[in-house]
Structure 1
Amino acid sequence: MTERSALSTDLPSGSATGVSYQDVSDKYFEQRQLQRHAGFFTLLVLGVGAVIAGQYSGWNLGLSQGFGGMLAATLIIAVMYVFLCSSIGEMAAALPHTGGAYSFARTTMGPWGGFTTGLAENIEFVLAPAGNMFFMGAYLGAIFGTPADAQPLWWIAGYAVMLLLSMRGLGMSMRVVVIVTIAAVAVLAFFCLAAIPHVDFARLALNLGADSAGKPVELPAGHGPWLPFGATGIMLALPFAVYMFLAIEQLPLTAEEAHNPTKHMPMALMFGILILAVLALSIVFFSASIPNGAFALSTSGEPLLDGFRSLFGHTASKILAGVAVLGLAASFLAGSFAAGRNIYSLSRAGYLPTALSVTHPVKKTPNRALCAGSLLALGVLMAFWFTFGRRDNALMGGVLVSMIVFAGMISYIFQSLSYIRLRSLHAGLKRPFKSPFGIFGAVVTILIAGATLLFQFVDPVYKWAALGAAVWYLLGLSYFGLYRRHHLVLSPEEAFAVSGGRRGMPD
C-alpha cells in the first residue's frame, strides 16, 4: 500500500480528529467492489424479511407483562420506528453509501461518532441472525422431533447453507430472500385469518395477572387486568416489542447494491415499516386471543407453532410450521447478509482489519465479511448454549433479544443525533427525500430508545444480558481507541466526510 489512491488525493490526513489514514493503491478499492442488483420491490421485501422472524418468536416474552402492557409497548415502538425510518430514509437518500448508520454518523460526528454507531449496529446485526437461528432451531427441533441437545447442529447447518448461498452471488441471494419472505408474510396472514373463529379475547388474552409477590400468574377464567404490572409493565415489554420491528434499518447497507437508492430506499423503508406495524399488531392480538392464551404464550419458544397446534392439532401444525420456518429463514438470511455488509464497510474504511472487506473477484460478494460475522455469531450461540441455554431455552432466547435490543437502541440514538446534526451542518446537501416529521421525529425516537435502554437495566431477569452487551461494546471501542484509529482508509464514506461532501459519493 504505497501508491496513494486517487480517492485520497488532496484530502486531509485526519490527524486533527485523533485518527490517521494509511495510503492505499487503486487496487485496494478494485478488490472491494459491489454490484447493483436491487430495485424498489426487492428493497421493500428485504426490509420486511430482515424483521419478519421477530413476529414468529421472541416478541411473546413481553406478554409476561400482561396483554395490555405488550399491546401498549407495541404501539409505542411502532411510532418510534415510523419516525426512525423517516429520518434514516432522508439520510440514506442524501448519503447512499453502503456504510449505513456508520456513514451517517461519520459524516456528522467524526470518526469516533462513526465507529461508535457502526459498532453498535455491528453487535446488533451479528446477534440478530444468531437469535433468528436459535429460534429456528427450536422450531425445527419441534417439527422433526430431534433431541434438544442437537440444536447446535441446526445452527451449524443454517450458517453453512447461508454461506454457500452467498457464494452463488448477491443476485441469487436476494432472489431467495424475496421468495422466502413473501411466503413468510403469507403464513402470518393465513394464521391471523384462521384464528378469527377461535378468538376469545377476554378469557384468553387477559388470563395473566400478578400474585402477591409481583410475579405473573395464570387466571384460568381470564377477565384479568389489562395492565397487571401497571406502567412499569409497559416499559419492561418495550424490548420485546422492538424485536417485532428491529433490523429494518439495515436497508441502507445495500445502498451501493441498489439501482436507484436515492429514490427507492426511503420508499422501501416507509412502506416496509407500515406493513410490519399492521402484522405486529395483528400477531399480538390473535396469538394471545386463542388457546392457550397469553400466559402460556409468554414462555413459549415457538409461539406461532403453538398457535397452529391449538388451531389445527399436532399433525397439521407440523406441516404449517414447516412453512412457518421460512419466516425465520428469511430474517436469518437477510440479517446475515446485513452483518456481512456492516463488517465490509467498517473494514473497507479501516475500522476493522482491512482483509475482511475483500470481495469475491467475480461475484463481488463480501464473503470474508460474511464468514467473519457467521463465526462470531456461532461462537456466541455455542457459548450461551453450553453455559445456560440447554437448561433454559426461554432464558437464552430472552438474553439474545435483550442484547440485540441494547445494541439497536444505542444505534438508533446515534442515528437520530446524526439526523439532527446533518440538518444543521449540511443544510445545503441535496435531499431527494425529506422526513415529514423532521427534527421532532428524531427527538421522539431518542426519547423512546433511551427509555427502552434504561428499562433494560431495571428488568431483574435480563439486565445481565444488557450489561454483557455493554461490555462487548466497550471492548470494541477500546480496540478502536488503542489501535484501529491509526489505520483508517479513505473509503467513499470517509472521503465524503473528510472533504465536506466534495468527494466520495458513489456512482
Structure 2
Amino acid sequence: MQQLKKVLKPVHLWAIAVGLVISGEYFGWNYGWGVSGTVGFLIATLIVTLMYVTFVFSYTELTTAIPHAGGAFAYAYRAMGPIGGLIAGYATLVDFIFVAPAIAAGLGSYVHFLYPGIAVFSSALFFYILFMGLNIWGVKESAVFSTVISVLAVGELLLFMGIIAPSFKTSNFLHDGMPFGWKGIFAALPFAIWFYLAIEGVAMVAEEVENPKKDIPKGYISGIATLVLLAFGVMILTGGVTNWHQLSNIDYPLPEAIGIVLGKTNGLTKIFAGIGLFGLIASFHGTILACSRQVFAMARSGYLPRFLNTVNTRFNTPHWAIMVSSAIGCIALYECKTDQIIIISALGAIVMYIMSMLSLFILRVKEPGLERPFSAPFYPVFPAIALVITLICMVAIVYYNPLLSVVFLAGLMAVIALFILMGKHMLRITGEAMLEQGGDFMTDANLE
C-alpha cells in the first residue's frame, strides 16, 4: 500500500486550518444578527467556540488512530458498522457540498460590490466552473501557497479591524442587542458555526504530518486561536460602526462596513474587497477538493454509484466526483438563499460531529487496544462537552428551521432505504477488511 509523505509541519497545519475556514470570517456569520441581534449572537458564538475547541482536540484522536480520507465516515463505520458509516458519510457530504455554493455566493457578492454591473449568480457560477475545471486538471494548492494566501487573508482582516476600530461605538453594538430575547441565541447557532465550519478538515491530513502526536495539537491550537481572534474581532468591531441592521442581510458585510467608515469610493474600500477574494478563493478551492475526496471515498466503498470513483486516465483526478458534487452545488446556489445554504451545511456538520464523538466513546470501549498516537485531553470531559453542545445545536437548528431539517432527514432516510434494499448493509466483514487495508478510501497517493 502506498503511503503519503510525512512533510507537513505545524505552520502548514495552521495554514490549512485558516485557509479552509477563513471565508467564514468574511461573510455569512452576519445573518446571525438578523435572528438574535449583536449581543445574542455574541453569546451564541461563545457557546459554539467552546464546542469547537473541545471537538477538534477530540476529533484529532480519531484521525491519528484511523487515518483515512473517508474521515468521519471511516470512524463511524469502524465504531458502528455500515449504517453508522452511511449516516456520517451522508452528513459529511451535505456539509461539504453545501459549503461550496455558500462561498460561491460570497465570491459573487464581492465581485458585485466591486463591479455592480456583474450579477451575483453569474460571477458565482463562473467561479464554480473555473475551479471545477482546475480540480479536474489536478491543480492544487501546495503547502507553501496555502501558507501565503492564509497569511494574506489574515493580514487583510487585521487591516480591516484596524481601519474600522476608531469608528467603533459601544452604543451601536448594544443597540437592540437582543431583539428576540434568549431564544434568538439558539436561532443564531448555525451562523456562529459558520465561523469555524470545516476546521476539522485539518485532522484528515494526519498521515502527512511529520510528528502527528506533537504537531497536530500545535497546528490546531494556533489555527483555532487565530480564528477565534478574527471571529470575535471582526464581529464586535463591525457591529459597532453603524446600525447593525444594515449589515445583517447581505453577503459582503466587511466591504460595506469599510464603505460606511471611509466612503464607498475610497481606494482602500475597493482594495479591501479585491484582496478579500483571495481568502474566499482559498476556502472555495479547498472545499471543492475535500468534497470530491469524500464522494470518491464513499463511491469506492460501495456507498455511492461506482462511476463516481473513476479516476481520469489523463489527469489522475476523480473527475466524475468533482463534476457531480459541483453540479449539485450549482443547483443549490440557484435555488436557495445564502442563509438557507449555510443552515443546511451546518446541519450536516453537526450530525457529522455527533457521529464522530459517539464513535470516539464507542471505540474507547470497543477497541481499548487501538493505537492512539494522540489522545483527547481531559477525556471524557472534552468529548462530552463537544457532544452535548452539538446535540443542543442540532435541536436548535431543527426547531428554528423545520422545513430544511425535513429535507435533510428525508434525504438521509431515502439513502438508508436504498442502501438496505441493495443489501450493502450486510457487507460488514468485507468492509472492515478493506478499512484495515486502507484500500477502501482514496488518498492523494492513489491519485497521483
* TM-score by shorter chain over 0.5: yes
Quickly say closer, same or farther: Cα 1:176–1:144, change in 2 above 3 A: farther
For 1:151, the equivalent position in structure 2 comes to 120
- Structure 2 CA distance for aligned equivalents of residues 368 and 256 of structure 1: 25
For 2:260, the equivalent position in structure 1 comes to 310
For 2:32, the equivalent position in structure 1 comes to 62
TM-score, normalisation: structure 1:
0.79
Quickly say closer, same or farther: Cα 1:259–1:438, change in 2 above 3 A: same
- Structure 2 CA distance for aligned equivalents of residues 364 and 319 of structure 1: 37
Map of 1:76-475 to 2, 5 A cutoff? 76-147=47-118, 150-169=119-138, 171-172=140-141, 176-202=145-171, 204-208=172-176, 226-255=177-206, 264-290=215-241, 292-315=242-265, 316=267, 317-361=269-313, 364-384=316-336, 396-459=337-400, 462-475=401-414
Q: Tell me which amino acid in the other structure corresponds to 1:138.
A: S
More divergent stretch after superposition (354-363 vs 157-166): 354-363
Quickly say closer, same or farther: Cα 1:199–1:151, change in 2 above 3 A: closer
Extract unaligned runs of 5+ from structure 1: 1-28, 209-225, 385-395
Higher helix share: 2
Q: Tell me which amino acid in the other structure corresponds to 1:283.
A: V
Quickly say closer, same or farther: Cα 1:260–1:480, change in 2 above 3 A: farther
For the Cα contact (< 8 Å) 2:296–2:442, is it kept in 1?
no
Question: SS of 1:438's equivalent?
Answer: coil
Q: Tell me which amino acid in the other structure corresponds to 1:75.
A: L
More divergent stretch after superposition (254-263 vs 235-244): 254-263
Q: CA deviation at 1:145?
A: 1.1
Q: CA deviation at 1:419?
A: 0.9
Deviations 1:186-227 (A, max 9, x none): 11111112222111112x11222xxxxxxxxxxxxxxxxx43
Q: CA deviation at 1:230?
A: 2.8
Q: CA deviation at 1:373?
A: 1.3
Extract unaligned runs of 5+ from structure 2: none
For the Cα contact (< 8 Å) 1:109–1:418, is it kept in 2?
yes
Quickly say closer, same or farther: Cα 1:158–1:35, change in 2 above 3 A: farther
Deviations 1:480-505 (A, max 9, x none): 222272696989x8426579x9x999
Quickly say closer, same or farther: Cα 1:79–1:418, change in 2 above 3 A: same
Q: Tell me which amino acid in the other structure corresponds to 1:108.
A: A
Deviations 1:116-151 (A, max 9, x none): 10110110100001111012111111211125xx33
Quickly say closer, same or farther: Cα 1:57–1:116, change in 2 above 3 A: same
Quickly say closer, same or farther: Cα 1:78–1:158, change in 2 above 3 A: same
Q: Tell me which amino acid in the other structure corresponds to 2:32.
A: G
Question: SS of 2:374's equivalent?
Answer: coil
What do you get for the CA RMSD once the two structures are aligned? Answer: 2.9
For the Cα contact (< 8 Å) 1:349–1:489, is it kept in 2?
no
Quickly say closer, same or farther: Cα 1:371–1:490, change in 2 above 3 A: farther
Q: CA deviation at 1:260?
A: 5.7
Q: CA deviation at 1:185?
A: 1.4
For the Cα contact (< 8 Å) 2:69–2:442, is it kept in 1?
no
Q: In percent, how many aligned pairs have the same letter? A: 29
- Structure 2 CA distance for aligned equivalents of residues 367 and 37 of structure 1: 26
* Correspondent of 2:12 among 14, 26, 42: 42
For the Cα contact (< 8 Å) 1:96–1:262, is it kept in 2?
no
Q: CA deviation at 1:264?
A: 4.0
More divergent stretch after superposition (471-480 vs 124-133): 471-480
- Structure 2 CA distance for aligned equivalents of residues 70 and 434 of structure 1: 32
Q: Tell me which amino acid in the other structure corresponds to 2:408.
A: A
Deviations 1:90-138 (A, max 9, x none): 1111111111111111111111111110110110100001111012111
- Structure 2 CA distance for aligned equivalents of residues 372 and 57 of structure 1: 26
Q: Tell me which amino acid in the other structure corresponds to 1:480.
A: F
- Structure 2 CA distance for aligned equivalents of residues 116 and 199 of structure 1: 45
Question: SS of 1:433's equivalent?
Answer: coil
Quickly say closer, same or farther: Cα 1:265–1:352, change in 2 above 3 A: farther
Quickly say closer, same or farther: Cα 1:53–1:229, change in 2 above 3 A: same
For the Cα contact (< 8 Å) 2:376–2:383, is it kept in 1?
no
- Structure 2 CA distance for aligned equivalents of residues 255 and 468 of structure 1: 34
Quickly say closer, same or farther: Cα 1:380–1:484, change in 2 above 3 A: farther
Quickly say closer, same or farther: Cα 1:494–1:309, change in 2 above 3 A: farther
Q: CA deviation at 1:351?
A: 0.9
Deviations 1:5-64 (A, max 9, x none): xxxxxxxxxxxxxxxxxxxxxxxx9xxx89648613333212221111111111011112
* Correspondent of 1:495 among 433, 438, 441: 433
Deviations 1:240-275 (A, max 9, x none): 101101111123444456566565444433332222
Aligned length: 439
More divergent stretch after superposition (271-280 vs 72-81): 271-280
Quickly say closer, same or farther: Cα 1:434–1:405, change in 2 above 3 A: same
